[in-house]
Amino acid sequence: MDALESGQLPLEDLLAQYRRGNELLQYCRQRLQAVEEQVRVLDEGAARAGEAP
């Protein structure tokens, strides 16, 4: 991060690092969305288990 902020990297390197950061951001968002969905499903299952038959 220091290298990015220093302004001393060539433009191509900056662009490559920006792209990599964007890829990682998308990956993290997808993983978070998947985990949130799993939690939602588990919560719904727990709510149903607590209901009277």
pLDDT score of 8: 81
pTM value surpassing 0.85: no
How many CA atoms lie less than 13 Å away from 8 in the CB half-sphere? 4
**52 pLDDT higher than 90:** no
The 10s digit of each residue's pLDDT in 1-42 is 777 677 788 999 999 999 999 999 999 999 999 999 999 999
pLDDT score of 47: 83
The 10s digit of each residue's pLDDT in 41-50 is 999 988 888 7
Which residues constitute the domain of residue 37?
Answer: 2-49
* Domains: count for the chain: 1
pLDDT score of 51: 65
Q: Which of 37, 14, 28 is nearest to 6 (CA)?
A: 14
